[in-house]
Amino acid sequence: MVHVVLALATIYGWSLRQLDVRNVFLNGNLTETIYMEQPTSFVDAKFPHHVCQLQKALYGLKQAPRAWFQCLSNFLLAKVFACSKTDTSLFIFKRGNTIIYLLVYVDDIIITGSDTTLIQSFVTSLHNEFSVKDLGALGYFLGLEVTYVESGFFVSQAKYAHDILARAGLLDSKPVDTPLAASESFLSKGEPFHDPTLYRSLVGALQYLTITRPDLSYAVNQVSQYLQSPTTSHFQSVKRILCYVKGTISFGLTFNKPPLTTLVGYSNADWARYIETRRSTYGYLIYLGGNLVSCSAKKQPTISHSSCESEYRAMANSAAEIIWITHLLRELPALPTDQPTLLCDNKSAIFLGQNLVSHKRAKHIDI
């Protein structure tokens, strides 16, 4: 979602603004009946054994995040914003040719649109309702560092990557050219790693790093499959990924300003490369006007009997993601005029997708 908003802001030449809501979970009104003990040092001398019934949320309540989001939603809906059906964290304001996008992630808010005066007026009304800190132009958001360049934006996670390397003790490691060795084969056999918690922590951090580093997606997907019982060889693979990150710590995504005319997806898959289960791994990249807005690398849930079947499944998953993005862009509204394009390098899979008559020879895929 952030990628889509950044891409549209770049294409339209809009400025990005960041807001932070203070004490965010204290704003929500509770609809459930919840009691709590009287706080220490604030016990009523007349009724020391009574409990308090909460009217508003407190930090630590499971209901607090939902109560805050409902409170903010009611405020935005009253300001004629519409909540996106595709992604509920996005609110859209449309009045004539004026458009405003508002992204909410708990207490962090990104706002952009075509009318800066109207945005300032809305920020003022938001400040009157909640305790809001205006952080100005978007610079650092959920670990993403946004740098403004002549052609648009450059988004990276250099600080976040540095923190991962420091946690792993690899700040002085020697960089490598690739995240995985060409002959790498992952197996569950081997000596168990002595600290599985460290392994899971590093792999989880690397998963978040793939937001701006699609070149890590496949390698991180491979090491993520052994979180339950990692071995020392698996941890060596994680260390190699981190050494690659060390040499490419400044890498990221560039959002340029091309015309909004195309939505293009690239799909690919291997075939039965995973030795233990013979499942295939697929991946896709989706570009909006030349800017990357979605990427993924995952293991397929079933076994493919041919490379055609593996590639066909990858195309199906890529097409589903493209359809979701088209629904989102139609809501914004910013849907390109040209039809979306899905590219694949397997002729058999393309033929199977284009010729319905051939599906009688692919009943096993349907089953």
Q: How many separate domains does the chain show?
A: 3
- Tell me: the pLDDT tens digits for 279-291? 999 999 999 988 9
Q: Is residue 293 classed as helix, strand or coil in its secondary structure?
A: strand
Q: Distance between CA 171 and CA 243 in Å, rounded?
A: 9
- Residue 310's domain comprises 258-366
Please say if the pLDDT value at position 26 is more than 90. Answer: no
- Tell me: the pLDDT tens digits for 144-177? 999 998 888 899 999 999 999 999 999 998 999 9
Structural domain includes residue 48: yes
Question: What Rg do the C-alpha atoms of the chain give, in angstroms?
Answer: 24
**141, 174, 201: which is the final residue of a domain?**
141
**209, 241, 273: which is the final residue of a domain?**
241
pTM tops 0.85, yes or no? yes
Report the CATH number that the domain containing residue 327 is assigned in CATH: 3.30.420.10
**113, 141, 169: which is the final residue of a domain?**
141
Structural domain includes residue 150: no
Same domain, 221 and 269: no
3-state secondary structure labels for all residues of 22-81: CCHHHCCECCCCCEEECCCCCCCCCCCCCEEECCECCCCCCCHHHHHHHHHHHHHHHCCC
Backbone angles phi, psi at 138, to 5 degrees: -60, 125
Q: What is the per-residue pLDDT for 99?
A: 93
- The residues facing 82 across adjacent strands are 92
190: left (phi over 0), alpha (psi -120 to 50) or beta: left
The two tokens of residue 60 are 């630590």
Structural domain includes residue 192: yes
Same domain, 225 and 267: no
Please say if the pLDDT value at position 365 is more than 80. Answer: no
Q: Are 252 and 159 in contact (CB under 8 A)?
A: no
- Tell me: the pLDDT tens digits for 85-129? 999 999 999 988 899 999 999 889 999 999 999 999 999 999 998
Same domain, 31 and 110: yes
